């Protein structure tokens, strides 16, 4: 197929139906969307609109019921589980609402895990990269701590480090600030904004208009359909308030 060099991720006529319910629930109902290279895209919508399902379908965590997903021109829906896992390991990073970590590993090992798995023969490079990430996000001093010994903000920053450990081309974040207080939210969003500024493509699901205002573009989902989208342009701290107000006005129009 022809491929637009600026598009990193693209979905075509994507649907997802859960057959475990009676009757089956169609959560996504034919979504066409694309994410540009280096773009910070936010997905918004009311609870149950299909935001998270869309995120997990385009990231290859779940198999869509029908339709296709292309990452850098490669059809993810045709890959085997092992191939898809490899794509997630080397090309994608994930940040969740709860900082899910393996509690039998310390913070540093949790971050190191995907890096060592992706390139077991380049362990020294991987270790150096992870240590640099720990320094950059200000959590090097808690690297040997257990996951119950650090704050929620530190843990979510560690999540970002882990998502970046394999230098992915795209980062998926599902409500990354949903479980944090306001100061920790700012801390995490600053970190994500930094990551985006350095060129990483970012797709984030959020309920929080203040967080969404940091995006380049926002799309809005209702009942499994993509109903509208809005370009916000590049974020700057000075214009933060105006962007947020404008976004809120648009969201109200959408019925948010």
Decide whether 114 or 209 has the Cβ nearer to other proteins: 114
Separation between Cα atoms, residue 154 and residue 139, nearest integer Å = 7
Separation between Cα atoms, residue 168 and residue 87, nearest integer Å = 9
- Helix, strand, coil percent content, the chain, rounded in steps of 5: 40, 25, 35
Give me the least distance between CB of 50 and other proteins, in Å please.
Answer: 12
Give me the least distance between CB of 194 and other proteins, in Å please.
Answer: 22
**With contact defined as beta carbons under 8 Å apart, do 66 and 11 qualify?**
no
* Distances from the Cα of 168 to the Cα of 13, 26, 75, 175, angstroms: 26, 31, 18, 19
Give me the least distance between CB of 57 and other proteins, in Å please.
Answer: 9
- B/e letters for 2-13, b = 16+ CB within 10 Å, e = fewer, are eeeeebbbbbbe
Decide whether 164 or 213 has the Cβ nearer to other proteins: 164
Decide whether 108 or 196 has the Cβ nearer to other proteins: 108
Who contacts 144 (Cβ-Cβ below 8 Å, separation ≥6)? 106, 107, 108
Separation between Cα atoms, residue 216 and residue 230, nearest integer Å = 9
Decide whether 49 or 53 has the Cβ nearer to other proteins: 53
Give me the least distance between CB of 75 and other proteins, in Å please.
Answer: 18
Rg (the chain; Cα; Å): 18
Decide whether 2 or 148 has the Cβ nearer to other proteins: 148
Give me the least distance between CB of 88 and other proteins, in Å please.
Answer: 4
Give me the least distance between CB of 81 and other proteins, in Å please.
Answer: 5
Decide whether 168 or 209 has the Cβ nearer to other proteins: 168
Q: What is the DSSP letter of 215?
A: S
Binding site for other proteins (CB under 8 A): 52-53, 56, 61-63, 81-82, 84-90, 92, 94, 96, 100-106, 108-109, 112-114, 116-118, 120, 123, 127, 144-146, 148-149, 162, 166
* Distances from the Cα of 28 to the Cα of 99, 117, 145, angstroms: 26, 33, 40
Give me the least distance between CB of 129 and other proteins, in Å please.
Answer: 12
Decide whether 103 or 242 has the Cβ nearer to other proteins: 103
């Amino acid at each position: 197929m022809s491929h637009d060099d600026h598009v990193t991720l693209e979905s075509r006529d994507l649907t997802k139906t859960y057959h475990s319910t009676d009757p089956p629930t169609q959560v996504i109902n034919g979504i066409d969307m694309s994410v540009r290279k280096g773009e910070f895209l936010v997905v918004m919508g009311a609870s149950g609109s299909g935001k998270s399902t869309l995120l997990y379908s385009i990231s290859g965590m779940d198999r869509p019921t029908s339709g296709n997903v292309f990452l850098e021109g490669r059809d993810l829906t045709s890959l085997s589980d092992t191939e898809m896992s490899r794509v997630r390991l080397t090309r994608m990073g994930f940040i969740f609402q709860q900082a899910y970590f393996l509690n039998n590993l310390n913070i540093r090992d949790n971050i190191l895990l995907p890096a060592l798995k992706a390139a077991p023969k380049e362990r020294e490079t991987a270790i150096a990269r992870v240590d640099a990430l720990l320094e950059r996000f200000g959590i090097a001093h808690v690297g040997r701590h257990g996951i119950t010994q650090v704050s929620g903000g530190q843990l979510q920053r560690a999540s970002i480090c882990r998502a970046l450990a394999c230098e992915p081309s795209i980062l998926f974040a599902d409500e990354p600030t949903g479980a944090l207080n306001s100061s920790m939210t700012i801390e995490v969003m600053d970190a994500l904004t930094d990551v985006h500024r350095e060129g990483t493509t970012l797709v984030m699901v959020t309920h929080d208009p203040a967080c969404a205002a940091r995006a380049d573009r926002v799309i809005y989902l209702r009942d499994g359909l993509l109903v509208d989208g809005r370009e916000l342009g590049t974020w700057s701290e000075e214009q933060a308030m105006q962007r947020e107000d404008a976004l809120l006005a648009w969201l109200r129009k959408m019925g948010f």
